[in-house]
Amino acid sequence: NFMLAQPHSVSESPGKTVTISCTRSSGTIDSNYVQWYQQRPGSSPTAVIYEDNRRPSGVPDRFSGSIDLSSNSASLTISGLKTEDEADYYCQSYDSRSWVFGGGTKLTVL
């Protein structure tokens, strides 16, 4: 099985842009789609990106996703940061046997 590695935490100022990475340990990042979830304190996760770069209805276009074959990683980019974006973010992918989450990244907007 594979794992997804994320930085433990990132921080940036309001109005700036931040990128969170998600590196797949084995197999290629484009083998299966990557999703991203936002989890605010005390709330259930909600998807902000699915199928690598698609946004669910209602998610602002400040959120974008991409994959990089050279680093075997996916990235979530949030532009025009707002204080409400402060949350934990998880990447997720899957294979034929399981669904896998990254360890999560705590985004602080300060």
Q: Which residues bind other proteins (CB under 8 A)?
A: 1, 32-33, 35, 37, 39, 44-47, 50-51, 56, 88, 90, 92, 94, 97-104
CB of 1 to other proteins, least distance (A): 8
Which CB sits closer to other proteins, 17 or 26? 26
| Residue placing its CB nearer to other proteins in the complex, 77 or 103 | 103
- Least distance in angstroms from the C-beta of 35 to other proteins: 4
16 vs 40 by CB, closer to other proteins: 40
Query: Cβ 101 to other proteins, closest distance in Å?
Result: 4
Which single residue is written with the structure tokens 């989890």? 39
**Between residues 65 and 81, which has the closer beta carbon with respect to other proteins?**
65
Among candidate residues 88, 105, 80, 75, the one with its CA nearest the CA of residue 13: 80
Choose among 87, 42, 44: nearest CA to 63.
87
Q: DSSP readout, 14-81? A: TTS-EEEEEEESSS-GGGS--EEEEE-TTS--EEEEBTTTBPPTT--TTEEEEEETTTTEEEEEE-S-
